Amino acid sequence: MNVTRNVEPRDLADRPACVVLALLFWCCTALVVLGPVLLLGALALAWAQPLEVLAPMGRVALLQAGLIAALVLPLHRAPGVRRLARCARYALLGPLALLVALTVLVCAGPPL
């Protein structure tokens, strides 16, 4: 009888370094995705401007979120990545999500 078949893998990588890296990468990704929309919204409200300026950045944010989900979720479910500890998995996939968000912002963002 194979005893190791039903045993959960130990979370050896749930160490403070992995937690900090995962938080850092995913917070940077959220800032890149939502930062321009929130900043433009706050400035439009502060200067009493119409919120029509948010439409292009809103589309870019939706495109970023969609592409991040389309690329990161299949990798998150892949067997090799699935064997990693939870925080190590998020620390590994965070830079990929940040790279996708920055690429979409630069390529599909509104012209400056």
Quote the pLDDT of residue 14: 66
CB atoms inside a 10 Å sphere around CB 37:
17
Residue-range domain boundaries for the chain: 58-112
Over residues 18-32, the mean pLDDT reads 93
Residue pair 9/85 in contact by the 8 Å Cβ criterion: yes
How many Å is the Cα radius of gyration of the chain?
Answer: 19
pLDDT in tens, 59-94: 899 999 999 999 999 999 998 888 888 888 899 999
pLDDT in tens, 100-109: 999 998 998 7
Structure tokens at 55: 């439409």
Q: Which pTM value belongs to this model?
A: 0.79
